[in-house]
Amino acid sequence: MPELPEVEVCRLGISPHIINQQVTKVVVRNASLRWPIPESVQKITGQVVQSVERRSKYLLLRFSTGTLLIHLGMSGTIRVIEADIAVAKHDHFDLVFAHGKALRLNDPRRFGAVLWFENHIDEQGLLTKLGPEPLSDDFNYGYLFEKAKNRKVPIKTFLMNNQVVVGVGNIYANEALFKAGILPTVKACDISEKRYDRLTDIIKSVLSAAIKQGGTTLKDFTQADGRPGYFAQSLLVYGRAGQECFTCKTTLLEVRQSNRSSVYCPSCQLP
């Protein structure tokens, strides 16, 4: 599943190709995504993309009269290609531009979304309850500690709550907790402010490093073969259950939390 760094790399990858470009045609081949693609998306025809932004895992294409919201779901990919490239299976949506390019969404599992909202009004509650961006100044020392007071959920579950902070998905929650030396099962309310401040720094550094690493794949967002352009990670614990910890050689263990895999080192990570 694309996580925040992958979506940010996607934003960086497509932006130079579509900003200030006029939409000449909107093609909806299958409207049955997570939410039905509304017929109102046709209003984009003739309009110019003013900016491409990201909020959490949502891509926001801004026009003078509204916002096109795109979510990649669990399996979606988006790329800028020549408009006459043959359509592949699961190519559900295109924005065709005057310069001969098209922004094409491919989504085999159809958990993604394409929605149109007029007049830049907040996206109908999809964004209003979201927590701060983890790389913003709003995600600062003391923030997590204050939010965690009286929260008895496991720290990993707490971090993955988008109302607490957006974009700390399963992969990066595993990695950040390992680097911070915190067990994923410890209650959020039982962690000290000092440890939370260190965790804040680590979350920022882990996500920043992932975005920087993904920068080498930006060209993939203009390839016709549909390669996602996401990037192989140098992961310390995620996906490595049963293998040795790189730090202490202890065997990494795995537990299920909220139907997600949590991999940790019983020696390096403490309550």
pLDDT digits (tens, 9 = 90+) for 166-194: 999 999 999 999 999 999 999 999 999 99
The mean pLDDT of the chain is 91
Which CATH class for the 4-118 domain?
A: alpha beta
End-to-end CA distance of the chain: 29
Q: Out of 5, 57, 104, 184, pick the active-site residue.
A: 57
Concerning whether 101 is annotated as a catalytic residue, the answer is: no
pLDDT band at 215 (very low <50, low <70, confident <90, very high): very low
pTM for the full predicted model: 0.88
How far is Cα 178 from Cα 134, in angstroms, rounded to an integer?
Answer: 18
Concerning whether 118 is annotated as a catalytic residue, the answer is: no
- CATH number (1.10.8.50, 3.40.50.300, 1.20.970.10, 3.30.230.10) of 143-264 reads 1.10.8.50
Residue 228: per-residue pLDDT: 46
Mean pLDDT of 22-26: 98
pLDDT digits (tens, 9 = 90+) for 122-167: 666 788 889 999 999 999 999 999 999 999 999 999 999 999 999 9
Instruction: Tell me: is residue 151 an annotated ligand-binding position.
Output: yes
234 has pLDDT over 90? no
Instruction: Tell me: is residue 104 an annotated ligand-binding position.
Output: no
Concerning whether 146 is annotated as a catalytic residue, the answer is: no
107 has pLDDT over 70? yes
Instruction: Tell me: is residue 90 an annotated ligand-binding position.
Output: yes
**Would you kindly state where each structural domain of the chain is located, as residue ranges?**
4-118, 143-264
How far is Cα 32 from Cα 137, in angstroms, rounded to an integer?
Answer: 38
Concerning whether 57 is annotated as a catalytic residue, the answer is: yes
